[in-house]
Amino acid sequence: MPTVDVRGIQLHYDQNGTRGDPAVLIHGSLVDSSTWSRVVPGLARGLTVLTYDRRGFGGSTPGPRASPVATDTEDLIALLEATDFYPVHLVGHSYGAVVALRVASERPEFVRSLSLHEPPFFGLLADRPETASLWEMFRSGAAQIIEQVHRGDREGAARNVVEVFSTTPGAWDRLPESARRSFAGYIDRWAEEYEDPDFLRPRPGSLRETLVPTLLTVGAESPRFLRTIEDRLASELANPTIREIPKTGHAPHVTSPAEYVGLLLTFLLERNVPVA
């Protein structure tokens, strides 16, 4: 994979496909760009696909992130400029969806569309009486996990994060050992991101100002609070489409890659993306 120097660090990226619109896949908090490996071949049939490791993940060098969301947003904008890879379709998973939405807000000329899977804007749960208790549960649970990280109990913290985003007990124990090592290895970065106030909710007014077509996907087997968050986003975005993916949860690109690729390409076909 090539690297590019941006903002005092090196970002590791890869590009697949030679025809169709450019698309960038933005990974979540406990993984690197390798998490997209099951969907890149299918997406590359109709898109030119760029995957990259965010700052401090995979092959990208670490660096300070006083505000992770702002830093990761600026890094991605710099990567797009350095590679002349824009305007793009942004596909973001979890925290990566938070970054995608921020890029679209700050540099709308860089973005053709957004495809966001379960951005965890937990702060939106605090705004309504019927979901305020969910917000309190999340805030308390996140504080406990962050305390675990600060104590050095990385595996225990990663286990608790996985259980939060699963509806079936024992999700951690069903993961391959390689995935458990990866999650525990990146849990410090997760804590940084969840302590960032910009992570908890979109900036005021940014949703209504985001005019590009936006696909919001949610797993049928994901915790219901993630669907609640996406419903809130859909109610404020200017041009949303919301789709539920059957028999999958928080990581459709891993557990249901064919279905996820089909959903993305169907959405993007409406944006005039040619598919072989």
CB 215 within 8 A of CB 241: yes
Residue 192 neighbours by CB under 8 Å, 6+ apart? 65, 68
Least confident of 13-17, 60-64, 150-154: 60-64
- CA within 13 Å, CB half, 152: 0
Tell me the pairing of strands 240-245 and 214-219: parallel
Say whether pLDDT at 276 is over 80: no
Q: Which residue has the higher pLDDT, 271 or 210?
A: 210
Nearest to 205 by CA among 227, 240, 237: 237
206-227 pLDDT tens trace:
999 999 999 999 999 999 999 9
pTM of the model: 0.95
Helix (H) or strand (E) holding 188, with range, is helix 187-194
Band (pLDDT 50/70/90 cuts) for residue 269 is confident
pLDDT at 149: 96
Quote the tokens at residue 195: 């302590």
Q: Rounded CA gap, 154 and 95, in Å?
A: 19
Domains identified in the chain and CATH numbers:
3-122+200-269 (3.40.50.1820), 129-193 (no CATH)
119, exposed or middle or buried, with CB in 10 Å at 0-12, 13-18, 19+? Answer: buried
| Peptide bond between residue 202 and the one before it cis (omega within 30 degrees of 0) | no
CB 75 within 8 A of CB 82: no
Nearest to 116 by CA among 96, 90, 97, 101: 97
Cα–Cα separations (whole angstroms), residue 231 to 130, 225, 249: 14, 10, 16
What is the layout of strands, in order, in the sheet containing 88-93?
A: 3-6, 9-16, 48-52, 22-26, 88-93, 111-117, 214-219, 240-245
Helix (H) or strand (E) holding 141, with range, is helix 132-151
